[in-house]
Structure 1
Amino acid sequence: MEKKLTMPRLRPEMENGVLCAWLKEEGDTVTAGEPLYEIETDKVVNQIEATVDGVLKKQLFDEGDTVDVEAPVAILETK
């Protein structure tokens, strides 16, 4: 089954964030709680963790892209 992971809202006024770095590549196994990517908001970089176990099927944005809150960022293949 596929699960879309979305850009989280880290503060009430947050509208978007810059995807700074992918910490996993497509095809990598991911465990819930494991850092998946990093985003920058107001010059602060945050690691975003996977919410479920699975395999990173598709990265939907490239490093350096600005992503709106709640937009799908990645697709995980889950069991």
Structure 2
Amino acid sequence: MKREVLFPKLSTKTDQGVITEWLKPVGSKVAIGEILYEVETEKAVHEVEALFAGQVVDVKVSIGDEVFVDDVLAVMEVEG
């Protein structure tokens, strides 16, 4: 089953950021809690963890892209 990776609300004042690095490119297997990507906001660079396990099958945004809360960043294939 495919599942979308959404950009989360990182704080009450942060609604957007810029992707600075993908740590799990297409084809990578990911466990819950592993760092998927880094995003820079107005205040800091955040490492964002996977909320579910699976394999990255598509990355929708590139390094340098601005993203907003609930944007689809990637798609993962998950079991079950």
TM range (shorter): over 0.9
Q: Which runs of 5+ in 2 are unaligned?
A: none
Question: What's the TM-score once normalised by structure 1's chain length?
Answer: 0.95
2:6 paired with 1:6: yes
For 1:53 and 1:11, locate their aligned partners in 2 and report how far apart those are by CA, in whole Å.
24
Letter paired with 2:30: V
Once residues 17 and 69 of structure 2 are traced to their aligned partners in structure 1, the CA distance between those partners, rounded to angstroms, is: 7
CA distance in 2, matches of 1:43, 1:10: 11
TM-score (normalizing by structure 2): 0.94
Q: How many residues align?
A: 79
Shift of 1:43: 4.3
Q: Which moved more, 1:37-46 or 1:58-67?
A: 37-46
How far 1:34 sits from its partner (Å)? 0.3
Identity in percent? 35
Task: List structure 1 segments (4+ residues) > 2 angstroms apart after TM superposition.
Answer: none
For the residues of structure 1 that align with 2:15 and 2:45, how far apart are their CA atoms?
Answer: 15
Shift of 1:14: 1.6
